[in-house]
Amino acid sequence: MSDMQTDARKPYVRPMEGWWRKNPFFVRYMARELTALVVAAYAFVLLAGLWCLASGESAYNAWLGVLRHPVSVALHAMALVAAVYHTWSWFEIMPKTMPPIVVGGKRVAARVITATGVVAAIVVTLVLFLAVWSIKP
């Protein structure tokens, strides 16, 4: 861009720092986008576990030991909050990110789509948890 500058004076560049803090809508937007870092971090935790599992029992048990560390549990508790926010925000914006659904000549309302997604997430959560819970040692 600098080669297009014909004026010798220093051009004014509007600062970007903290632009999103001025509006609650953009704060929610940034929070929603930040959940991607948590999703990535959790995927890497699982990838590390997978790698340890392939490396043998002692490596895998070392990974389990890291997961039992209070710092890990605290980080996972924060990740849980972010994951729940990701679930909520994902279905909140779904009416805007998916093609419109028309039933009986009327477009399905945004809140119906969001509610359906949230209910689906709750069902999946309960089914998965009960499936793991029913495993007998």
Partner 1 sequence: MKTRSNAPIFWALFGAGGMLSALTGPVLVFITGIAVPLGFLLAPEVMSYPRMLAFAQHLLGKLLILAVIVLYLWHAAHRIFKSLHDVGIHPGPASKLACYGTALASSALAIYTVLAIGW
Residues that bind partner 1 (CB under 8 A): 16, 20, 30, 33-34, 36-37, 39-40, 42-47, 49-51, 53-54, 57, 60-61, 64, 67-68, 72-73, 75-77, 79-80, 83-84, 86-87, 90-91, 97, 117, 120-121, 124-125, 128-129, 132-133, 135, 137
Smallest gap from Cβ 110 to partner 1, in A, equals: 16
CA atoms of 101 and 30, how far apart (whole Å): 28
Question: Residues of 47-79 as b/e, b for ≥16 C-beta within 10 angstroms?
Answer: eebeebeeeeeeebeebeeeeeeeeeeeeeeeb
105's torsion region: left (phi>0), alpha (psi -120 to 50) or beta?
Answer: left
CA atoms of 98 and 80, how far apart (whole Å): 26
Which residue, 3 or 104, has its beta carbon nearer to partner 1?
3
Which residue, 108 or 114, has its beta carbon nearer to partner 1?
114
Which residue, 109 or 120, has its beta carbon nearer to partner 1?
120
